[in-house]
């Protein structure tokens, strides 16, 4: 398991480590198939849940690079379906990019999450020098909101490169839509929690 977009981020230590890992795998296990997922989300992720926690608590949210970085979020169940397909069909010596059905900018993702948790927040573009200074401070914490390397990665889109097959190309297209899946657990960040769901509140139907 590697990561999408690492070829396009030569100045990221994370991307370099992933590429080095891939080269070692290909050298020592030439039949291995490498999966490169975009950001993976689900009820227990560190992506949507972290954003919804911050969006529910902060009066505004910083946008890095104007929130224009694009992602192709893939639900964890779609990713596991791809893994099962690769194993069961004995697909060898490939690099497969694993992506969801939608291409979304970071700003679009944040707006969708705000809608799902029924919150209104200011999304404030940060100048790069301010973003860099904040990342230097954040990365000192045990669970940093942002590190310098993560800020570097945000310069680059996290979408299919066109150089490799995707999960759809090998016969396992992602079927789970971001909004629909996140809605299933977003109630935990809404006023009223589970009682804000359609089950208890028909007005939200």
pLDDT score of 11? 96
Note whether residue 145 is domain-resident.
yes
pLDDT score of 205? 55
pLDDT score of 23? 97
pLDDT in tens, 28-66: 999 999 999 999 999 999 999 999 999 999 999 999 999
Note whether residue 59 is domain-resident.
yes
| Residue span of the structural domain in which 139 resides | 6-191
Q: How sure is the predictor about 200, in pLDDT bands with cuts at 50, 70 and 90?
A: low
Q: How sure is the predictor about 145, in pLDDT bands with cuts at 50, 70 and 90?
A: confident
Note whether residue 92 is domain-resident.
yes
Across the chain, what does the average pLDDT equal? Answer: 93
Note whether residue 201 is domain-resident.
no
Note whether residue 182 is domain-resident.
yes
Question: Cβ(166)–Cβ(160) under 8 Å?
Answer: yes
pLDDT exceeds cutoff 70 at 199: no
DSSP H/E element including 60: strand 60-63
* pLDDT cut 70: percent of the chain above it: 94
Mean pLDDT confidence for 80-90: 98
Count of structural domains, the chain = 1
CATH code of the domain containing 44: 3.40.50.720
Supply the pTM of this predicted model: 0.90
Note whether residue 20 is domain-resident.
yes
Q: What residues have CB less than 8 Å from 107, skipping those under 6 apart? A: 63, 66, 67, 68, 123
Ordered alpha helix ranges (H), 46-123:
48-57, 76-88, 106-116
Written as one string, the DSSP assignment of 63-78 is: EGGGG--EE--EEHHH
Q: How sure is the predictor about 194, in pLDDT bands with cuts at 50, 70 and 90?
A: low
Question: Cβ(117)–Cβ(201) under 8 Å?
Answer: no
Note whether residue 205 is domain-resident.
no
Q: Which residue has the tokens 């069909």?
A: 89
Note whether residue 202 is domain-resident.
no
């Amino acid at each position: 398991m590697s990561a999408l977009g690492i070829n396009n981020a030569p100045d990221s230590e994370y991307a370099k480590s992933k590429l080095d890992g891939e080269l070692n795998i290909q050298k020592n296990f030439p039949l291995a198939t490498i999966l490169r997922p975009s950001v993976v989300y689900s009820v227990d992720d560190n992506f949507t849940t972290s954003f919804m926690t911050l969006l529910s608590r902060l009066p505004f949210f910083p946008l890095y690079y104007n929130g224009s970085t694009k992602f192709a979020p893939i639900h964890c169940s779609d990713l596991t379906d791809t893994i099962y397909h690769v194993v069961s069909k004995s697909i060898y010596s490939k690099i497969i990019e694993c992506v969801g059905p939608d291409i979304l900018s970071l700003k679009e993702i944040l707006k969708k999450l705000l809608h799902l948790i029924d919150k209104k927040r200011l999304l404030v573009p940060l100048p790069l020098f301010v973003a860099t200074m904040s990342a230097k401070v954040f990365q000192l914490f045990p669970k940093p909101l942002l590190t310098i390397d993560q800020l570097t990665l945000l310069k680059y889109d996290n979408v299919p490169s066109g150089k490799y097959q995707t999960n759809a190309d090998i016969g396992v297209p992602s079927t789970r839509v971001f909004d629909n899946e996140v809605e299933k657990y977003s109630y935990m960040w809404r006023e009223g929690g589970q009682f804000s769901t359609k089950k208890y509140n028909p007005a939200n139907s």
